[in-house]
Amino acid sequence: MPARKLMEFLDSNHVKYVTITHSTAYTAQEVAALAHIRGRDMAKTVIVNLDGKLAMAVLPASQHVDLSLLKAAASAKTVALATEAEFRGKFPECETGAMPPFGNLYGVPVFVEESLTKDKEISFNAGTHNELMRIAYADFDRLVQPTVTTFAPARAA
């Protein structure tokens, strides 16, 4: 079942969503394949440490966070990928590595890769390694109010 806090939040804000159950997968690319979603259409949540504080970097599953671009976009002095030990307790109802990109529910700022804003919908892990959710990007933007920036440049085709 998707994270209760997330479902209650979406329901209380009258957001329509689709939940897709799939066999266990641990990477966003695997989840995308199982759900028959292109990697660039599946959003992954990467937890980073910006100046000693946790933040979410949300980007297409097919891309990687460019830490130097994120550091500049966040006007941070230091940036690093957070370790599981650093963030595990911050998302108690979520399986480690399956956090939905709703940092506002957990007191964590959210940075969204600009390329995701071009899509009508956003698909993401729903708090488990067996489920994802899909909602309108406009609803995600309205509820999360992420900082939109470029930190995962598109790869050459």
pLDDT given for residue 46 in this prediction: 96
pLDDT given for residue 122 in this prediction: 94
pLDDT lower than 50: segments of the chain: 156-157
pLDDT given for residue 156 in this prediction: 44
Q: Which residue in 47, 76, 81, 45 sits closest to 63, CA to CA?
A: 45
Domains, the chain: 4-145 (3.90.960.10)
pLDDT given for residue 43 in this prediction: 94
pLDDT given for residue 1 in this prediction: 56
Q: What is the pLDDT of residues 32-50, one digit of tens each?
A: 777 767 767 789 999 999 9
Q: What is the pLDDT of residues 14-24, one digit of tens each?
A: 999 999 887 78
